[in-house]
Each structure stands twice: as structure tokens, then as C-alpha cells.
Amino acid sequence: MPGRAGEGASCDNGRMTTPRVTNLVLHRASHALEVAFDSGETFRLPCEYLRVESPSAEVQGHGPGQKVLVAGKRDVNIAAIEPVGHYGVLLRFDDGHASGIFSWTTLYTLGREQEVRWANYLAALHAAGAARER
């Protein structure tokens, strides 16, 4: 959930700028990634949420309307975090998934939209008769 009300993306010379990540902490025991931004906002993102929302083509597809419903990831964890330039990280999940680069913008969006995206995911699982468990 967002840190403080009224903060977030700002405008810089007419361009929208996304806050930059200032800290990443993997909480292995609770299966969550804590992401802090220079806007003062901090998000605690469950590994399962990150896995099912991976920006990879494997999950998102190659075009609009092609997103794949990923079930059975309740216990997934992050095995490694690798920096990618100055703009993001590659999250290597312990189920072998390692093809999505999470840009700072993607992580920020996932944090800001976590409540709505998670509710949509749970509804899609229910509609498909799928489960979070394996």
C-alpha cells in the first residue's frame, strides 16, 4: 500500500518521473520483498504477487489480452536478486522462473496497484477453478 498520501510520481520538465528505489530487502521467512522509494513510499510485496505479475512475456504474453493466469505459487520465494543496469532487477524465483526484469517503474506500479491487482488475481483464479496452492 502507498506510503504517504499525495506522494508518488512527479513531473520533471513536463515528463512524469517515477521514484527511484532506495532500498530492497528480501524477507525470505515471510516470502516478501520490501521496496523503498525516494518518494518516502515503501511497499511490502509478497513473492507470490511478484511471481504472478512478472513482467516477462511468459506471464504477460506478447500483446494485449495475452496475460497468462499463473496458479499454484502460494509458497514461491525469491532465490536471488540481480541488478540490471541502473533501472531495475532480475528476480530469480525458486520455481525456476527468471525471465522478467522488474524495472523501478514496474515495482512502483505493482506497489501502488497491489490491492486492486491482487483482488483481480484472486477473482481470476476463482473463475478458472484454480488455486494458489499446488
Residue pLDDT, tens place only, 18-35: 899 999 999 999 999 999
Tell me what pLDDT residue 1 has: 38
The pTM for the full model equals 0.87
Q: Indicate if the pLDDT at residue 14 is higher than 70.
A: no
Q: Are 37 and 44 in contact (CB under 8 A)?
A: no
Helical H runs in 21-86? Answer: 47-52, 57-60
Q: Indicate if the pLDDT at residue 56 is higher than 60.
A: yes
Tell me what pLDDT residue 2 has: 38
Distance CA 122, CA 127 (A): 9
Tell me what pLDDT residue 61 has: 85
Tell me what pLDDT residue 18 has: 81
Once rounded to an integer, what is the mean pLDDT over residues 109-113? 98
Q: Indicate if the pLDDT at residue 84 is higher than 80.
A: yes
Distance CA 131, CA 70 (A): 9
For residue 20, the 8-state DSSP code is P
- Residues 6 or more apart whose CB falls under 8 angstroms from that of 120 comprise none
10-128 CATH choice from 3.40.50.880, 3.30.70.240, 3.30.2020.30, 3.40.50.300? 3.30.2020.30
Tell me what pLDDT residue 13 has: 53
Strand partners, 103: 88
Q: Indicate if the pLDDT at residue 3 is higher than 50.
A: no
